[in-house]
């Protein structure tokens, strides 16, 4: 046994590189809501699907995590498109449940109490009854009412939901509408926060979809949070035999001529696919292709990201006389929606009290969530020690700043601090980890591709950069690509 032997394979320090080759009908890249919904639809009708996810949890931006035995949702402030009595069966949420064969009752939706947009001294309240919102606008801006109703009519007639809707600037349409400048800013605030990838503006079709989703339909939350949506989807994937792979990052997409041929994983495995749906974004897909994927190469890189801090406290918000669900606030009369120069922009933000959905006020503890625009690059440049220091600083600053927008908030500061059990924060870096979006953007590239087509015949985009936003939008987008690009073709 004196001869030099080759190292035993199992003791080899070199990680074995798989050269395995697999074949399938469809590869879906990304197990966010768009990817999950697309995979379910395809598998429902017999397609052989491999669903790849880089992270170790599903959901993408709408995922979840646990801290000290408590469950947190990453993205979910509100599920929009609540099928309220005044919106009836027109809600896209119902279409979505039908398409995925998930009974809507299974989601156990809790409607919002009521919510508010506050700019300086001016407030507009809304709930899941659109007439109430109209009456609020009339009370606050009586001289704008005629112009506002005219704008609503124009929005109804605009083909916002069509794949080739013109992406006009909402700011310029609102400027020409004749409504009060402050009302314009107040309408932009919730719609931008819930889905604009454009700096300081929102494209008009998305504005209309979000206006309908937030005000005409309404806000709700599944009793069990985002898991109420993710669990039935993953159960269906399992039942339908979808090969779902976690911790499976894609290294590249190989093409030949006008077709995408195969996907190569970081593990070295090659997956040959007849069709590929990429939900990771236009820019992100281009980096896998090492080539632009739409022509001409016009895709822009998104910049908008957020920071969110969460205070977990004993009791219910009602104990502090806080009965609102979501508050969109802005210090001044001019709303700026952009990537800030500093780490965080305190000028405007969103407060959410998820325990004010539904009518159970007996909870042992509750959450106060505060969100502000944040700069991904500034956060990324910090050393680990600086990062923790800044995170702690902003966590406290943001949560205290938000108190000035809550009824009697500043006087209740000490009481709230005494009741606090836990603080937690996620930064643009956290969003990057969950979504793999370049720049940790919340809503991807300002360039959208609604029908999902690319310059490659069998490669489609779905999700964020398809331009249908929110939980409902993402899932409907994934479904639309599965239906129109793959299932219709047979």
Partner 1 sequence: MDKDKVKQIVLDIIAEIAPDEDLNDVKSDIRLRDQLDLDSMDFLDIVMELRKQHGIDVPEPEYRELESLDSCANYLLPKFEAGAAA
How much helix, strand and coil, in percent to the nearest 5, is found in the chain? 40, 25, 40
CB atoms within 10 A of CB 459: 26
85 sits near partner 1 (criterion: CB under 8 A)? no
Nearer to partner 1, 90 or 247 (CB): 90
Residue 468: name the closest of 484, 481, 487, 485 by CA.
481
Dihedral sign for Cα 252, 254, 258, 259, please.
negative
> The tokens of 327 are what?
């508050």
The number of angstroms, rounded, from the C-alpha of 5 to the middle of its chain's C-alpha atoms is 55
Q: In the set 45, 231, 333, 457, which binds partner 1 (CB under 8 A)?
A: 45
Shortest separation between residue 117's beta carbon and partner 1, angstroms: 32
From the list 73-81, 96-104, 213-221, 401-409, the region that binds partner 1 by CB under 8 A is 96-104
70 sits near partner 1 (criterion: CB under 8 A)? no
Nearer to partner 1, 48 or 95 (CB): 95
Maximal C-alpha separation, the chain: 97
What are the DSSP calls for 88-137, one per residue?
Answer: GGG-HHHHHHHHHT--GGGG-EEEB--EEEEETTEEEEE-S-HHHHHHHH
Residues pairing with 72 in the sheet: 65
Nearer to partner 1, 101 or 108 (CB): 101
CA dihedral 124, 127, 129, 133 (to 10 degrees): 0
46 sits near partner 1 (criterion: CB under 8 A)? yes
Phi first, then psi: give them for residue 172, nearest 5 degrees. Answer: -75, -35
From the list 93-101, 114-122, 274-282, 442-450, the region that binds partner 1 by CB under 8 A is 93-101
Nearer to partner 1, 342 or 490 (CB): 490
Q: In the set 94, 147, 163, 382, which binds partner 1 (CB under 8 A)?
A: 94
Q: In the set 95, 259, 318, 413, which binds partner 1 (CB under 8 A)?
A: 95
163 sits near partner 1 (criterion: CB under 8 A)? no
Which residues, other chains included, contact 31 with Cβ-Cβ below 8 Å and sequence gap of 6+?
A: 39, 51, 52, 53, 55, 58, 59, 60, 244, 246
- Cα–Cα distances (Å) from 211 to 136, 190, 334, in that order, read 15, 9, 19
Q: In the set 8, 68, 89, 341, which binds partner 1 (CB under 8 A)?
A: 89
> The tokens of 382 are what?
């910090």
68 sits near partner 1 (criterion: CB under 8 A)? no
Nearer to partner 1, 374 or 479 (CB): 479
Q: Determine the Cα–Cα distance for residues 193 and 318; give it in Å rounded to an integer.
A: 26
181 sits near partner 1 (criterion: CB under 8 A)? no
93 sits near partner 1 (criterion: CB under 8 A)? no
Binding mask 98-117 for partner 1 (x = CB under 8 A): xx-x-xx-------------
Shortest separation between residue 172's beta carbon and partner 1, angstroms: 32
Binding mask 445-484 for partner 1 (x = CB under 8 A): ----------------------------------x---x-
Q: Which of residues 25-44 bind partner 1 (CB under 8 A)?
A: 44
Interface residues with partner 1 (CB under 8 A) are 44-46, 89, 94-95, 98-99, 101, 103-104, 479, 483, 487-488, 490
């Amino acid at each position: 046994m004196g001869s030099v032997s080759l190292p035993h394979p199992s003791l080899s320090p070199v990680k074995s590189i798989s050269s395995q080759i697999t074949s399938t009908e469809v590869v879906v890249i990304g197990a966010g809501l768009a990817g999950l919904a697309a995979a379910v639809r395809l598998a429902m009708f017999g397609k052989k699907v491999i669903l790849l996810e880089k992270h170790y949890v599903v959901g993408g931006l709408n995922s979840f995590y646990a801290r000290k035995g408590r469950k947190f949702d990453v993205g979910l402030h509100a599920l929009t498109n609540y099928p309220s009595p005044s919106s009836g069966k027109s809600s896209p949420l119902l279409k979505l449940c039908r398409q995925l064969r998930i009974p809507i009752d299974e989601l156990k939706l809790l409607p919002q109490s009521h919510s508010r947009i506050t700019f300086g001294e001016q407030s507009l309240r809304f709930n899941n009854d659109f007439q109430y919102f109209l009456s609020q606008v009339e009370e606050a801006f009586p001289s704008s009412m005629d112009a506002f109703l005219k704008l609503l009519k124009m929005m109804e007639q605009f083909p916002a939901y069509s794949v080739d809707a013109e992406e006009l600037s909402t700011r310029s349409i609102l400027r020409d509408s004749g409504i009060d400048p402050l009302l314009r800013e107040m309408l932009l605030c919730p719609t931008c926060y819930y889905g604009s990838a454009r700096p300081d503006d929102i494209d008009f079709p998305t504005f209309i979809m979000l206006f309908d989703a937030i005000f005409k339909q309404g806000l709700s939350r599944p009793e069990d949070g985002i898991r109420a949506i993710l669990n039935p989807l993953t159960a269906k994937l399992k039942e339908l035999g979808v090969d779902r792979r976690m911790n499976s990052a894609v290294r590249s997409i190989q093409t030949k001529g006008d077709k995408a041929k195969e996907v190569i994983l970081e593990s070295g495995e090659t997956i040959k696919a007849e069709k590929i749906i990429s939900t990771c974004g236009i820019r992100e897909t281009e980096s896998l292709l090492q080539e632009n994927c739409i022509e001409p190469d016009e895709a822009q890189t998104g910049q908008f990201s957020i920071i969110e801090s969460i205070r977990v406290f004993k009791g219910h918000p009602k104990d502090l006389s806080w009965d609102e669900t979501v508050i969109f606030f802005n210090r001044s009369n001019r709303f700026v929606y952009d990537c800030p120069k500093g780490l965080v922009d305190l000028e405007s933000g969103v407060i959410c009290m998820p325990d004010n959905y539904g009518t159970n006020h007996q909870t042992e503890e509750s959450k106060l969530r505060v969100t502000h625009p944040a700069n991904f690059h500034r956060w990324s440049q910090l050393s680990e020690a600086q990062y923790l220091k800044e995170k702690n600083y902003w966590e406290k600053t943001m949560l205290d700043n938000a108190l000035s927008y809550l009824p009697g908030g500043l006087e209740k500061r000490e009481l709230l601090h005494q009741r606090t059990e836990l603080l937690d924060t996620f930064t643009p870096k956290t969003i990057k980890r969950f979504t793999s979006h370049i720049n940790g953007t919340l809503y991807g590239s300002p360039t959208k591709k609604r029908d999902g087509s690319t310059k490659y015949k069998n490669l489609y985009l779905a999700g964020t950069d398809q331009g249908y936003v929110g939980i409902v939008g993402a899932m409907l987008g994934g479904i639309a690509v599965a239906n129109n690009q793959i299932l219709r073709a047979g």
